[in-house]
A and B are shown apart, each in its own frame.
Chain A
C-alpha cells in the first residue's frame, strides 16, 4: 500500500499544547525506514513530548502524524495495534516489578500478539541472549543492576518485533559504568537496520551511529543535520551554545 520510499514516520506541522503551554510547535519531520535519528536539546524543550506523540502516549493537538501510512487520530481504531509496532524504552526502565524477567518479556507477546507460550519463551530467550543476560531470566527486576534492567527493557520492546524503536534518555538514570553496556546494545540494534529515534545526550553515540541529529529548543525543531555537519558546523546560535554546554565536560 505504501511505497518503500515513503517515510515510516511522517510529522506534518505537529503541535501539542498542555492547556495554554505549547510543548511542540509545528514540527515537520520525516523518518525513513532504517534511519537512526538522535534528538537532543535542553531539558523541557519537548523531546519526550515529541517521541511520546509518535506512539500516541500523548495526543497531539494539531497537525498530522502518519506511521507506516496510517494517520494517528482520535478515530484510529486500533491504537494498541499501532503501539505494538513501536517499541519504547524509558529513562526509568519501567519493568513490571512483580513479574520475573522472562514474564516481563513474554507478557505482551502472549496478550497482544497471542503468541503460543513456547514460542514467546523462545523469542524472549533469544532477545535476552542478544542483550547478553540470558542467565537472569528467572530473577525479578529489583535483583538486577540498572544497566541490566535497561537491557531487559530493550529486549522486552524487541520481543514485539517492532518496526520502530523509540528511546527516551535510556542512559540518563544509569551509573556511569553502566552506560556503555546499554549503548552497546543500541549500537548493535542500529547496525541491524532498526529504525530508531533516540533522545540522548550521548554525543559519542550520536556521532558514530546517527544518520541525522535533531536539535530542539522551546518546542521547536531548530536544526537537523548529519552528525558531521551538526557537530562541526551548527547553523544556529542556539545549537552552537547547547553543544558548547554539553561538550565542555
Chain B
C-alpha cells in the first residue's frame, strides 16, 4: 500500500466524479425510463414504435460502443455545425462528463423503460378510475396516483438499474473522463503496481454499490409501508 502514497487525493476526486456522474445519469435515466414507458403504453402508434426502436437499439448495443458513439457522434456533428460559421475551427466536442452521463443514462433508461412499463400495468385500474371520477385530471392522476403506486412495483428491479449505472460510470474513462479507472491507469504507469491500483478502484466501487443496495432496501421498506397490516 506504500505505492498509494501521493495517489489518495486523485482517487478521492475521481470517486467524487463517479458520484456526480451517477447522480446526473440517475436523473436522466428516470426521465428516459418514464418517457419510454409512457410512449410504450400510449395509444399513439408512432410513439410506441419510437419507444420500441429506442429499447431495441440501446439494449442490443454494447454499452462501451454507445459511450463512444455518443461522444464522437456529437463531436462530429458539433464540429460540422461550428465549421459552417467559422471554417478555421478544427474540433468541437461536448464535455466527456456529459456525453458519458447521457450515454449510460440512455442505455440503463432503456431497461428502466421496460421496468416502468410493467409496473404501470400493475397499478390497480380501480385507483385510476376513482381519481378520474373525483375530477382529477390525467396529469394529476399520473403524478398523484399512477407514479406513486407504480413506484412500489418498480423498486426491486430499479435497484438493479442503479447498480448498473454505478458500474457503467467506469466506461467513461474511455473518452477521457478523469474518473477512477483513468486515475488507476496513470498511477499504474508511474508506480508499476497495477494490481494495487486496480484493487483500490474495486473496493471503492464496492462501497458505492453497498450504499445503493442499502438505500434500495430502505426505499422498499418505505414504499411498502402501507402494504403491511396493522402492527
Contact = CB atoms under 8 A, between A and B. Distances in A.
Indicate whether A and B interact: yes
Interface of A: 55, 57, 80-81, 83-88, 90, 92-99, 107-108, 111-112, 139-143, 153, 156-157, 160
A84 B131 CA distance: 10
B137 A140 contact: no
Contact of A83 (B126, B135, B144, B226): B135
Given A108-B134, A108-B135, A111-B140, A92 B149 contact: no
Nearest to B141: A111
Nearest to A113: B135
24 contacts: A55-B133, A57-B129, A57-B132, A80-B135, A80-B136, A83-B135, A88-B130, A88-B133, A90-B129, A92-B126, A94-B124, A94-B127, A94-B129, A95-B130, A96-B127, A96-B145, A97-B226, A98-B148, A98-B149, A99-B226, A108-B131, A112-B134, A112-B135, A143-B229
A160 B130 contact: no
Contact of B135 (A84, A96, A140): A84
Interface of B: 124, 126-127, 129-137, 140, 144-145, 148-149, 152, 225-227, 229-230
Contact of B137 (A80, A98, A156): A80
Nearest to B126: A94
Contacts of B137: 80
B230 A83 contact: no
Contacts of A142: 226-227, 229
Contacts of B229: 142-143
Given A57-B129, A90-B130, A94-B130, A141 B226 contact: yes
Contacts of B134: 83-84, 107-108, 112, 156-157, 160
A108 B127 CA distance: 13
A137 B199 CA distance: 54
Given A140-B225, A160-B135, 5 more contacts: A80-B137, A90-B130, A94-B130, A95-B130, A153-B130
Contacts of A55: 133
A95 B131 CA distance: 9
Contacts of B129: 57, 90, 94
A157 B227 CA distance: 23
B226 A81 contact: no
A238 to B, nearest CB: 30
A95 B128 CA distance: 10
